[in-house]
A and B are shown apart, each in its own frame.
Chain A
């Protein structure tokens, strides 16, 4: 069975986590998403999409499912792993003060799961005030610094006040909370495949994809060195690279998280990346890649 990718949505109370999740459920991504939320009542499903609703589970006609995680979060995630058929992607909404990294750690330990990023939703208007509250500031900073993608609500993502408040935590890619299609494109599974078409520059609103076939053979150390120079703004990267001493390396990058595993199987070597749209993005990736080749 394929590994279940886990994405955690963090952010303080009222920042817009549930709104974002509602939007992600509505985007046409063609995936059977599973969503675990704290507050079931706030999930807003179009009646036409509603298949069934029980005390703790809502099923959608498009195959998505939304569950309440009342009780133990980990066991609720375990239930998702055991669900048949297994969902394509799991999104967990962290509670308002929780550390999303703590939840996402399960994707690093559980062999049947794959890390698929932390999104932290930042309330563009209230974040500076919230950060000034010494009782919660360190946990809020923790949420922002754990993020692979910052989703800014209520103001433009590059709002100077937000940038100033985020400080050191603000270097991750940022996107607006109303741009759910971009968030979905960046984070959810389908758009990034190993079997990428030859040299493509597929362009979607909000984000760019880049891929290349026939990468050179590389050792683990060379791959690690290469990844350490990955341009900022690349949110995800997937690669299958031949090892000069035989076998293949499977490489996954999500935000700061890198996973390099040895595969005995042979396969078609390829590399694909996805990043936030920007004038220089594709060129930057291209330059980075060519620096090896």
Chain B
């Protein structure tokens, strides 16, 4: 008979109403056999007690419903962002708050690399640095004999040194405005948007495609997940070529691979072909690689003024944003996915994009009824009560970008949509009140992976300046914890398998150093010791 192992913990938060708390959980065959006290598995025969987690508080394994595989792979390069972060190996990286500190860190990286190897930093955000705008002169202090580049956290801009400019042949004559020129007419080193960045990236050998799919990135993704207490994680907008699928099946199939990945295939082009591919992929799913959903991009981002917003638009008078998928295509894709039984994750930042997507889902639902479709609107940052009500009516789930409140809230109030609409951004409370199936997310690597941090953002709605954006939209700790477990699991249609600690579910736990329900410690500061995945302990 299979072995029964009972984990003893300081406390177990189950997310089950019938038995919200426990001290022991019994595991057999990677699943939860029983939960309760030390005797919970008494009816089930012999067992062994495992004390390795007796110093910890257990929660259901956290679920990140919106992240990207690149979150792990970026650590191949040196981090120069403003916020403190921890890399997949557990090394803490202090945030960089001055240009000099950044130059020092990049110089350290140069010294670590073989001669001539390009230096590439990532995560930089100029809005946090009061000093002179980063330019090639700063980066020339790092190296003059090899290219040096710093990618901004939004992935739309980078700054490079003189050697990199030279390598790409950029001069005062380069006609593209994205190759920014200074008052002297010479390139400053700042490169805006992909057309300007790509010639440098190409020559530096930096390929975003392999960052999203290589063996190294899949491994790193597992590591960052463990450190965040995450046992199920999405990869929303995956290309999923045949080779990629083989690679992922192989790697996630290894017994010690510590996380379940739920990729969503990028949906572009002919809807019938997208559905064909999704259904073919679904047939290849395993426990640890759940295939079959698709991701649809609709608009851009609010902080980049590319989200599609309804009247009165952006406060600076910027033109309305852009569609990455035309409304007609959104309708066509929605109809075909609904007809074929393919779940969709739909990126909607602006409220016009949310409205058009709900219109499309409504039209599709009339033609091809499917009560369990559970399509998911992703980000939902500007949705108001009426839009959430429509989502609830249509059975459409909403995964809100709570981290934005902290990381970009001040910018939204001052520069994008103004304080009034910023106060109702990511209106988690309203979504819950309207009965929407709700989750919250990080969009890592856009903001750092860490569902407890995301929960903290939703509980406090505090922006970096300290201001609270829309206090009435705050939620309780208990609600927030549900959103990063059962809530996110529900958006992935996995709530029957994961998201709470109950007999029959997967033995996936977050291993914490403190009780997240206790008010003394901020949720974001609750230590994460690691995870249990399928009964296997991964302690960091």
By a beta-carbon cutoff of 8 Å, the part of chain A in contact with chain B is 12-13, 38-42, 55-56, 70-72, 74-75, 77-78, 81, 95-99, 102-103, 105-106, 108-111, 135-136, 138-139, 257, 259, 261
Question: CB within 8 A of A109: which of B174, B239, B266, B308?
Answer: B174
Cβ-neighbour of A12 out of B178, B196, B269, B326 (below 8 A) = B326
Shortest Cβ distance from B272 into A: residue: A41
Bound-state CA distance A106–B242 (Å) is 29
The 7 closest A-B pairs by CB, nearest first: A105-B195, A111-B169, A97-B326, A108-B176, A74-B198, A109-B176, A106-B195
The reply to whether B270 and A41 form a contact with Cβ atoms under 8 Å apart is yes
Question: Are A136 and B327 neighbours in the complex by a CB distance under 8 Å?
Answer: yes
Given contacts A74-B194, A97-B326, contact A105 B268 (CB under 8 A): no
Given contacts A13-B329, A110-B168, A138-B320, 10 further A-B contacts (CB under 8 A): A40-B269, A41-B273, A70-B239, A70-B241, A78-B202, A96-B328, A106-B199, A108-B175, A109-B179, A135-B352
The answer to whether B326 and A13 touch across the interface, beta carbons within 8 angstroms, is yes
A95 and B329 CA atoms in complex are apart in Å by 10
Given A41-B270, A109-B178, CB of A75 within 8 Å of CB of B209: yes
Please encode chain B, from 346 to 379, with 1 for each CB lying within 8 Å of some chain A CB and 0 for all others: 0000001000100000000000000000000000
Measured CA separation A99–B327 after assembly (Å): 15
Q: Are B270 and A71 in contact (CB-based, < 8 A)? A: no
Can you sample 20 A-B contacts with CB below 8 Å?
A13-B329, A39-B273, A42-B270, A56-B241, A70-B241, A70-B266, A70-B268, A72-B208, A74-B195, A97-B322, A97-B326, A105-B176, A106-B194, A106-B199, A109-B168, A109-B198, A111-B168, A135-B352, A136-B326, A139-B322
B170 close to A109 (CB less than 8 A): yes
Residues of A within 8 A of B323 (CB): 97, 135-136, 139
- Tell whether, in the assembled complex, residue B326 and residue A78 are in contact, meaning their CB atoms are under 8 Å apart: no
CB distance from B434 to the nearest CB of A (A): 25
Instruction: List residues of chain B with CB under 8 Å of any chain A CB.
Output: 168-170, 173-176, 178-179, 193-196, 198-199, 202, 207-209, 239, 241-242, 266, 268-270, 273, 308, 319-320, 322-329, 352, 356
Give the CA-CA distance A243 to B444 in the complex, in Å. 54
With A39-B269, A138-B320 known to touch, is A109 a contact of B326 (CB < 8 Å)? no
Q: Among A71, A77, A139, A261, which residue has the most Cβ atoms of chain B within 10 A?
A: A71
Q: Which residues of A contact B241 (CB under 8 A)?
A: 55-56, 70
- One of A70, A97, A111 near B269 (C-beta < 8 A): A70
Residues of A within 8 A of B239 (CB): 70-71
Cross-chain contact A75 with B328 (CB below 8 angstroms): no
- Which residue on B lies nearest to A96, using beta carbons? B326
Residues of B within 8 A of A108 (CB): 174-176, 195
User: Are B270 and A39 interface neighbours, CB within 8 A?
Assistant: yes
B198 adjacent to A13 (CB under 8 Å) = no
From known contacts A97-B326, A97-B329, infer whether A71 and B209 are also in contact, taking CB-CB under 8 Å: yes
Bound: A95/B266 CA distance, A: 14
A12 vs B329: C-alpha distance in the bound complex, in angstroms?
11
B326 near A259: Cβ-Cβ < 8 Å? no
Asked if A78 meets B268 with Cβ closer than 8 Å, knowing A12-B326, A109-B174, A109-B179, the reply is no
Given contacts A97-B326, A102-B195, contact A259 B269 (CB under 8 A): no
Q: How far is the CB of A96 from chain B (nearest CB, A)?
A: 5
* Bound complex: CA A209 to CA B264 (Å): 51
Q: Are A138 and B319 in contact, CB atoms less than 8 angstroms apart?
A: yes
Q: Are B356 and A135 in contact (CB under 8 A)?
A: yes
**Minimal beta-carbon separation of A76 from chain B (angstroms):** 9
CB-CB under 8 A for A55 and B242, given A70-B268, A109-B195: yes
